[in-house]
Amino acid sequence: MKKFRAYLIYIVLMPLSACQFTADLFWVDTKVYIFELPEIPHEWNDVLGSPAWRLEWLSEQGHISSMDVPLGVITTEVSLSIHQPGPILAWPYWPQLGITPHRTRPAGALLPLDVQQNRCRLTWMGGIEATLFYLLKTSPGNAKYDPDTFNWPRFRKLFSEKKLPLAVLADPWCVDWALVATKTRLSGFDSRRLVSQPTKPLFVTLPDVGPWVADSPFIPYLLEGRASEELKITLETTASVNTILSAHGIIAYSWDGIAYISGFHDP
Three-state SS letters, 101-130: CCCCCCEEEEECCCEECCEEECEHHHHHHH
- Total number of domains in the chain: 1
Residues in the chain: 267
Q: Write out the residue range of the structural domain in which residue 257 sits.
A: 200-262
In a domain, 250, yes or no: yes
Q: How far apart are CA 104 and CA 41, in angstroms?
A: 12
In a domain, 154, yes or no: no
In a domain, 46, yes or no: no
Read off the pLDDT of residues 25-59 as tens digits, 9 standing for 90 and up. Answer: 334 578 899 999 999 999 999 999 999 999 999 88
- Residue 211 pLDDT level (bands cut at 50, 70, 90): confident
In a domain, 84, yes or no: no
* pLDDT exceeds cutoff 60 at 21: no
The residue ranking higher by pLDDT, 213 or 24, is 213
Read off the pLDDT of residues 80-106 as tens digits, 9 standing for 90 and up. Answer: 877 677 899 999 999 999 999 999 999
In a domain, 127, yes or no: no
Q: CA angle 195-113-155, nearest 5°?
A: 20
In a domain, 218, yes or no: yes
* pLDDT exceeds cutoff 60 at 180: yes
- The pLDDT value recorded for residue 224 is 76
Q: Which among 246, 264, 252 is positioned nearest to 207, based on CA atoms?
A: 246
Q: Which among 134, 171, 165, 173 is positioned nearest to 150, based on CA atoms?
A: 134
In a domain, 243, yes or no: yes
Read off the pLDDT of residues 145-173 as tens digits, 9 standing for 90 and up. Answer: 999 999 999 999 999 999 999 999 999 99
In a domain, 61, yes or no: no
Q: How far apart are CA 111 and CA 213, in angstroms?
A: 31
* pLDDT exceeds cutoff 80 at 266: no
Q: How far apart are CA 30 and CA 149, in angstroms?
A: 23
